[in-house]
Amino acid sequence: MESAEIARRFLRFFEERGHKVVPSASLIAEDPTLLLVPAGMVPFKPYFLGQRKPPAARLASVQKCVRTPDIEEVGKTTRHATFFQMLGNFSFGDYFKEQAIPFAWELLTRSESDGGFAFPEEKLWVTVYLDDDEAIDIWHNKVGVPMERIQRRGLEDNYWHMGVPGPGGPCSEIYYDRGPEYGRDGGPVADEDRYLEVWNNVFMQYQLSAVRSKVDFDVAGELPAKNIDTGMGLERMATILQGVDNLYEIDTTYKILDSAAELTKTRYGRDPRADVSLRVIADHVRTGTMLVADGVMPGNEGRGYVLRRILRRSIRNLRLLGSGDERYMHELTEVTINAMGETYPELKVDAPQIHAVIDAEEASFLGTLRTGTAIFDVAVEETKRKSGTTLSGDQAFKLHDTYGFPIDLTLEMASEQGLKVDEEGFRRLMKEQREMAKADAAAKKTGNADISVFGQLLENAGKVEFLGYDQTSAESSVVGILVDGASVPVAGAGATVEIVLGRTPFYAEGGGQLADHGLLRTSGAEVDVLDVQSPIKGLVVHRGRVRVGEIRVGDEVQAEVDVERRKAISRSHSATHLVHRGFKNALGETAAQAGSENSPGRFRFDFTAAGAVPPSVLRDVEDEVNAVLINDLKVNAFYTSQAEARAMGALAMFGEKYGDEVRVVEIGDYSRELCGGTHVHSSGQLGLVKVLGEQSVGAGVRRVEALVGIDAFRFLARESLLVAQVTEQLKVRREELPERIEGIVTRLRTAEKDLEKLRSAQVLQIAGELAAQAHDLHGVSVVTHRAPDGTGPDDLRKLALDVRGRFPGDRPAVVVLAGVPSDRPVVVAAVNEAGRERGLKAGRLVGVAAKALGGGGGGKDDVAQGGGTRPEAIDEALRMVAETIAGQLA
């Protein structure tokens, strides 16, 4: 039975039993404490906590999940994986154990012809929590499971909670006996390799008041409404129903593994080392594809880093199998899309964008691998030469920061060389680099309040009504005030506050559109609104400062949006839609939106693309968009079903997930997009759009920045004035400027080259004089010299080699020169062959000098270069070099 059919049967069974089937939530978790969804119940957590009302009392889903704590073990075993799917049925205060247990048993044991999975009853074992006699009674007396196949287990195995105060309760798990060839007798308590867990029923019946660990918590009492949370691993079910040994041999995974083996001309099952790489590739390509499809982009932070790490491990393992510089990720991604597309049809719709992102990351990392591996090899050689066993944190950080080498890859490759890595040192350096940015980002999105506080506000206030599409001012009432993350009844002048209103005209930041600013006014207070966020769906939080008076919960309030700012942002948002359509017309459907920011008077627009966009295309898109403005097309917004919007050809942001009902914004017949933002009434209100340029912001993603309206006009006015000033200076017509400037630049570059040649010749003129002034130290000719300030590193190197070449081949010679090209000193050392035979090494001498200069450096034995930060120490550095040579020769 294929994986897609397993999912279909599960959902059909529970739909027939009154469950509302909901689609998988995005892998991007709504919970700000999570990067990605790690379990099937996570999207339902707000319902279990009472923060939101569920869409129905009974739900069922197939949820995509990603877990990466054991990523290093993926491939080494056949049990670990990063991506998996959880089939789940959920009850929110509706049915409980007496129905949940028979549901699970019926679906597992019912015949295939009747829509079940046809598990032999005698193959199934059950575990329950130690004192859950109620569950045992249901299993034995109602379902008919023999007592010898029911086992009691403790808190570690059969009790569930969220890790924080909240609902919890005992579990009852179902195991499938794979037979004696997989392990010993005795049920799940004896061997969980032979007895494979397929289903977990969680009975949420208690309120936990304190949670200290998995097995240490306090129970406050029973929940007023008891809930059911179940999970059945799709990959485990497929392993059993397809008669294979492990998850790497099921239909969806093995297709990727087999394709990787074919591409790299290997065969699974022959070489244990190759098998590890094939399993890594199969798992990681599938995970990477699913993450990209949900809008995650490769990056160096957060979930972007998770994706980058996963993709790069795939690419490196392809190289370990002998792929060289061949690019195979496109083919493997295509196989993944076909394998998973029946369950997740959006993969096939978004295939061009998924390919664009993954192909670009592969191209980028292959270059990183070439450079980084060479640097890594040098670091390993140096460490081993010194009889060391650990690569320093500085070396690991340099590989990461300078060459883009992920730390996990450094750890993996070091382990292959029998070395460790100073992870603590690396983490310390990374922490110093990232700490401030992380703090800023966290404060921006979640403020100081715990999400449970927001959940309580939503429960008290209900969903906040947004009036801002039609109004920029409105009467409302204060339903909640937060100060420093805690609910308060009143806040006085000077306080930084977060205020929730019953309804609001203020737009909360989202969909790329910046938040509104404005003013809240009561009979006794005024609050400046400086930011508006929606920390959980349905809640709008106004952040700002109390200017005067005291604001209280229950106050009637006049909410007033800064109208000019709103209009400017709306113009930018409408312009973004037009530019999106323009790039699709110019580059094709692969140019999908991957992010945006709509600010007053300007916007940035990110889109997927394989490479840089030619200037001619930028000009064409700009011309096309401004033609739309001249035609003054009407802007229309309306609500419809997601299916109908797709059928109309409405564009959606790549990776964004939408509800059943969506808002469509049309600009004439030119643009049609799903969008919740605010817009102008007609395209002519934009006035003018000026594209400033484009750049790369990551693998497979380009960014365009542009100005709108009066900002675009002012920019062009400044540009026109500048051109007028230049034409006046050069005494030419405007159309002649490019040719005249090109001529001036060409002559300037020629003059600079001539000056460089002259300067080099002047420097080299003193080579003979320096050789003649050499000191004799124990039979070695030694030249130490400070070059004139401004002498460049290349000239110093040429001079050192020239002076060295003026000594007879059998005469040992050392030349050490130092200078200050700009503000930092540089030192170059050159040793001839006869000098090297006396044990003198250029790299060591440069190290001595560079240390005195407050820096570092090195190189080969015959010539080396270094530098520092203390130009005043050059004379001291040259003296120390001379002393080092004398001491070594003596």
**CA distance readout (Å), 284 to 172, 278, 602:** 31, 10, 39
CATH number for the domain running over 566-717: 3.30.980.10
Which of 290, 323, 328 has its CA nearest to residue 306?
290
Where are the alpha helices (H) located in 766-890, listed in sequence order? 767-772, 793-805, 833-837, 842-852, 874-889
Positive/negative CA dihedral, 669, 671, 673, 678: negative
Tokens 């004696």, located at residue: 180
Q: Is the pLDDT of residue 442 over 70?
A: no
pLDDT score at 449: 46
Q: At 796, phi and psi to the nearest 5? A: -60, -45
What integer is the mean pLDDT of 613-637?
A: 93
Model confidence pLDDT, tens digit, residues 763-807: 667 888 888 888 888 889 999 988 887 777 888 888 889 889 889
Q: Is the pLDDT of residue 594 over 90?
A: no
Same fold, 566-717 and 767-889: no
> How many angstroms separate the CA atoms of 719 and 411, rounded?
52
Three-class secondary structure of residue 734 per DSSP: helix
What integer is the mean pLDDT of 749-758?
A: 80
Structure tokens at 419: 């070395």
Output helix, strand, coil percentages for the chain, rounded to the nearest 5. Answer: 45, 25, 30
Q: Is the pLDDT of residue 683 over 90?
A: yes
| Per-residue confidence band for 434, with pLDDT thresholds at 50, 70 and 90 | low
What integer is the mean pLDDT of 312-321?
A: 89
| Per-residue confidence band for 444, with pLDDT thresholds at 50, 70 and 90 | very low
Model confidence pLDDT, tens digit, residues 149-159: 999 999 999 99
| Per-residue confidence band for 446, with pLDDT thresholds at 50, 70 and 90 | very low
Q: Is the pLDDT of residue 237 over 50?
A: yes
Which of 602, 596, 611 has its CA nearest to residue 512?
596
> How many angstroms separate the CA atoms of 476 and 501, rounded?
6
> How many angstroms separate the CA atoms of 772 and 770, rounded?
5
Q: Which CATH class is domain 451-561?
A: mainly beta
Identify any residues that bridge with 208 across adjacent strands, giving them in sequence order. 166, 219
Q: Is 675 annotated as a binding residue?
A: yes
Question: Among 372-386, 739-753, 863-877, whose mean pLDDT is lowest?
Answer: 372-386
CATH number for the domain running over 3-249: 3.30.930.10
Provide CB contacts within 8 A for 878, sequence distance 6+: 784, 785, 786, 816, 818, 849
Model confidence pLDDT, tens digit, residues 79-132: 889 999 999 999 999 999 999 999 999 999 999 999 999 999 999 999 999 999
pTM of the model: 0.64
Amino acid symbol at 321:
L
- SS3 string, 90-103, reads EEECCCCHHHHHHH
Asked if 832 and 812 count as a contact pair (C-beta separation under 8 A), the reply is: yes
Model confidence pLDDT, tens digit, residues 292-311: 998 888 887 788 889 988 99
What integer is the mean pLDDT of 576-584?
A: 93
Asked if 885 and 777 count as a contact pair (C-beta separation under 8 A), the reply is: yes
| Per-residue confidence band for 592, with pLDDT thresholds at 50, 70 and 90 | confident
Helix (H) or strand (E) holding 129: strand 124-129
Q: Which CATH class is domain 767-889?
A: alpha beta
> How many angstroms separate the CA atoms of 670 and 577, rounded?
10
Q: Is 422 exposed, middle or buried (0-12, 13-18, 19+ CB in 10 A)?
A: middle
- For residue 160, the Cα-to-chain-centroid distance in whole angstroms is 30
Which of 461, 539, 543 has its CA nearest to residue 496?
543
Tokens 């000077």, located at residue: 494
**CA distance readout (Å), 414 to 388, 411, 421, 865:** 12, 5, 7, 28
Provide CB contacts within 8 A for 322, sequence distance 6+: 264, 265, 266
Identify any residues that bridge with 689 across adjacent strands, giving them in sequence order. 708
pLDDT score at 153: 95
Q: Tally the residues of the chain.
A: 890
Q: At 77, phi and psi to the nearest 5? A: -120, 170
Please, what is the average pLDDT of the chain? 88
pLDDT score at 404: 66
- SS3 string, 755-796, reads HHHHHHHHHHHCHHHHHHCCEEECCEEEEEEECCCCCCHHHH
> How many angstroms separate the CA atoms of 293 and 273, rounded?
30
What integer is the mean pLDDT of 831-856?
A: 89
pLDDT score at 723: 86
Cα atoms found within 13 Å of the Cα of residue 434, Cβ hemisphere only: 13
> How many angstroms separate the CA atoms of 193 and 177, rounded?
9
Q: At 466, phi and psi to the nearest 5? A: -95, 125
Q: Is 140 annotated as a binding residue?
A: no
Q: Is the pLDDT of residue 60 over 90?
A: yes
Q: Is the pLDDT of residue 645 over 80?
A: yes
Percent of the residues in the chain that have a pLDDT greater than 90, as a whole number: 52
Which of 155, 142, 38, 50 has its CA nearest to residue 97?
142
Q: Is the pLDDT of residue 166 over 60?
A: yes
| Per-residue confidence band for 438, with pLDDT thresholds at 50, 70 and 90 | very low
Which of 707, 715, 716, 717 has its CA nearest to residue 601?
707
Model confidence pLDDT, tens digit, residues 695-712: 888 767 889 999 999 999
Structure tokens at 756: 């460089």
Provide CB contacts within 8 A for 468, sequence distance 6+: 504, 505, 506, 507, 516, 561, 566, 678
- For residue 145, the Cα-to-chain-centroid distance in whole angstroms is 47
pLDDT score at 644: 87
| Per-residue confidence band for 335, with pLDDT thresholds at 50, 70 and 90 | very high
> How many angstroms separate the CA atoms of 792 and 764, rounded?
12
Structure tokens at 203: 């009975």
pLDDT score at 435: 60
Q: Indicate the domain borders of the chain.
A: 3-249, 251-441, 451-561, 566-717, 767-889
For the residues of 645-697, what is the DSSP string, one character each? HHHTT-B--TT----SEEEEEEETTTEEEE--S---SBGGGG--EEEEEEEEE
